Amino acid sequence: MKTAIQSRKRVLGISATVLAFLLLVLFLIPTQPYFYLSQQLSPVPKKLSCTTIDLLSAHCSTPHPGKPLIQYAIMIDAGSSGSRVHVYKFNFCQQEPELENEVFHMLEPGLSAYPDDPERAADSLEDLLKVAMETVPESMQSCTPIAVKATAGLRLLGVAKSKLILEAVRQRLETKYPFRVTEVDTMNGKDEGVYAWITVNYLLDNLKGSGYGKSAATFDLGGASTQIVFEPTFIDRSEAMVPGDHVYQLDYAHQRFDLYQHSYLGFGLNEARKRIKQSVVELWQSDLSSLSNHNVYHPCLPENHTETIKYTTEDSTRQIDLIGTGAGHAACRGVIEKIFNKETVCPFNPCAFNGIYQPSLKDTFLHDRDLYVFSYFYDLTQPLGMPLEFSVRELGELSERVCRGDPEAFRHIPNALQAIKQNPDYCLDLTYTHALLRIGYEIPPDRTVRTAKKIRDAETGWCLGASIAMMNDNKLCRK
């Protein structure tokens, strides 16, 4: 994938004077096509659900030669916990696309909630597609690319079931909607992580000029998987990463970035939570046959909290009642650390966890470079009053306060107590996120990380990076 990016300051508003000037230009040059095609588009209808400003750029009136003035792109993120639509508006005032605006909407559950009913899975996207239809001007819809990319949640259903669901979604898009359908597929973890890295560094203006050693690292924690992507730098420039699938060579803006990436399927928050609960049951496995009530005590759950899980072995599946002990952060951490399999033999050193090679962040990613953690990292910390920048140690201290169950620790933070009360897994979840950064990825405790849901009004995550790559496709509009 080769994409050149030049980030520029976005201006979402437009003055009446500038708008009048642009309308005059549009009126005087009626032959200027909105898209660069083999033939010009029909004139824009006078009556549209969108306004005329949606057809114009706030930055220029004339596009770069051979480019459209405005290009929309639609990306649907079919994640494990829900589906989200991102409708992007770009201009081509310069050779590379500049993001002007984003419309975002999400809903639950995701496609994977319908493993045996592909048509219902396709139905679940209708509200998101309605948002896209209302956002993209009618005259541009047939030239607007759309992609649906499923992530780890659908991968866990297996090839056969996920294929049927994606075929139903593609059929729905191609028969009911006017957009140009590009990809409807399951995205591998490698692309998911790298696209998120592109998004964050594009929005931070880290990809222009001499970019070596300036980019931010990204850590994405989804429901089913977690990704790490960063550009390691070595004191001796002749040094390099050990060759392998973890190396991702990326060309951006006439620069090459040698990235380290890895996606850990099964270590997203929802899947990790299941494994952590199962792991305690496994400790009691030899005693389960003698337990008449099948009760198992779990240190990561609040005192006296009870929930039932299914525990499956080779011989049987049984219902197990987990009873919380409220034992605190240290006891919970002792259970969680085991799932990282730090003792697994690694083919090359240094290693992160689960037997996976990873260049040391301490040695190859210096303190003056940013570490961005997002998705569930953001969702768990912000309701509890954490700043957007905090050290790994401070994240551990936050999990300690939650696991203590002391209401006084959060009484001064609006809605924090309610958030903790509504989620009995809060202690487990925070302890896991801290352990993932500190034990898993081995980030030093005093290292500062940043979290964000948006950067410059655009959502973090992989969708923007994937949309920019999608616009490299030179196919004509849908016929």
Q: What is the DSSP string of 343-397?
A: TS--SSSSB-STT-B---HHHHS-TTS-EEEEEHHHHHHGGGT--SEEEHHHHHH
Q: Has residue 292 got a pLDDT over 80?
A: no
Q: Is 433 annotated as a binding residue?
A: no
What pLDDT does residue 37 have? 25
Give pLDDT, residue 56.
84
Residue 385 neighbours by CB distance under 10 Å: 13
The residue with greater pLDDT, 49 or 268, is 268
pLDDT digits (tens, 9 = 90+) for 329-348: 999 999 999 999 999 998 89
Per-residue pLDDT, 21: 43
Residue among 137, 74, 142, 60 at smallest CA distance from 103: 74
Calculate what percentage of the chain has a pLDDT beyond 90. 65
Q: CA-to-CA distance for 394 and 471, rounded, in angstroms?
A: 41
Which residues does residue 73 pair with via DSSP β-bridges, in sequence order?
Answer: 88
3-state secondary structure 205-259: CCCCCCCCCCCCEEEEECCCEEEEEECCCCCCCCCCCCCCCCEEEEEECCEEEEE
DSSP 256-293: EEEEEEEEEET-SHHHHHHHHHHHHHHHTGGGGGG-SS
Instruction: Report yes or no: 417 and 463 within 8 Å, Cβ to Cβ.
Output: no
Spell out the CATH class of 194-267+335-458: alpha beta
Q: How far apart are CA 478 and CA 341, in angstroms?
A: 49
Confidence (pLDDT) at 7: 38
Topology at the third CATH level for domain 2-183+462-470: Nucleotidyltransferase; domain 5 (3.30.420)
Per DSSP, 146 falls in state E
Average pLDDT over residues 143-152: 93
Decide the pairing of beta strands 371-375 and 306-312.
Answer: unpaired
2-183+462-470 and 194-267+335-458 in the same fold? yes
Provide φ and ψ at 63, rounded to 5°. Answer: -80, 165
φ/ψ of 25, rounded to 5, equals: -60, -45
pLDDT of residue 239: 77
CA distances from 110 to 65, 188, 377, 464 (A): 41, 17, 20, 20
Token pair in block for residue 51:
């306004």
Residue 470, phi then psi, degrees to nearest 5: -65, -35
Task: Please say if the pLDDT value at position 289 is more than 70.
Answer: no
Per-residue pLDDT averaged across 5-29, rounded? Answer: 40
Q: Which of 98, 100, 102, 192 is catalytic?
A: 192
What is the CA angle 8-13-19, rounded to 5? 105
Distance between CA atoms of residues 126 and 176, nearest Å: 10
Least confident span in 46-60, 107-121, 146-160, 332-346: 46-60
**What SS3 state is found at 335?**
helix
Please state, rounded to an integer, the average pLDDT across all residues of the chain: 85
Joined together, the tokens standing for residue 160 give 């056969």
User: Bigger pLDDT: 172 or 284?
Assistant: 172
**Rounded to whole angstroms, how far apart are CA atoms 105 and 95?**
29
Predicted confidence at residue 444, as pLDDT, reads 97
The single residue listed with the structure tokens 């047939």 is: 142
Compute the average pLDDT of residues 118-123.
97
Q: What is the pLDDT of residues 216-245, one digit of tens each?
A: 999 999 998 999 999 999 887 667 899 999
Is 223 labeled as ligand-binding? yes
473 pLDDT above the threshold of 70: no
Residue scoring higher pLDDT (470 or 39): 470
Single out the residue of 145, 200, 197 nearest to residue 477, CA to CA: 145
- The secondary structure of residue 57, as a DSSP letter, is -
User: At 80, which helix (H) or strand (E)?
Assistant: none
Task: Pick left, alpha or beta for residue 213 (phi over 0 → left; psi -120 to 50 → alpha; otherwise beta).
Answer: left
Provide the whole-model pTM: 0.80
pLDDT at 307 over 50: yes
Per-residue pLDDT, 474: 59
- Please provide residue 327's backbone torsions phi and psi, each rounded to the nearest 5 degrees: -70, -15
Helices marked H in 15-156: 16-28, 118-123, 126-135, 152-155
Q: How many CB atoms lie within 10 A of CB 238?
A: 5
More reliable by pLDDT, 475 or 128 = 128
| CA-to-CA separations, 252 to 1, 64, 152, in angstroms, rounded | 9, 19, 27
Helix, strand or coil, per DSSP, at residue 459:
strand
* CA-closest candidate to residue 469, choices 153, 272, 191, 263: 191
Per-residue pLDDT, averaged over 311-337, amounts to 90
Annotated binding-site residue? 224: yes
Q: What is the mean pLDDT of residues 385-389?
A: 97
226 appears as a binding residue in the annotation: yes
Residue reference for tokens 């959060």: 410
Question: Cα torsion at 268, 340, 336, 111 (round to 10°)?
Answer: 20
Where do the domains of the chain lie? 2-183+462-470, 194-267+335-458
| Mean pLDDT across 135-155 | 93
What pLDDT is stored for residue 372 in this prediction? 98
Query: Which residues fall within 8 angstroms of residue 294, CB to CB, at 6 or more apart?
Result: 288, 318, 319, 320, 321
Confidence check: pLDDT of 413 > 50: yes
Length of the chain: 479
- pLDDT of 109 reads 93
184 contacts: CB under 8 Å, gap ≥ 6: 147, 148, 166, 169, 170, 173
Give yes or no: 192 in active site: yes
* Lowest mean pLDDT segment, chosen from 37-41, 190-194, 264-268, 363-367: 37-41
Pick from 104, 255, 262, 267: nearest CA to 194: 262
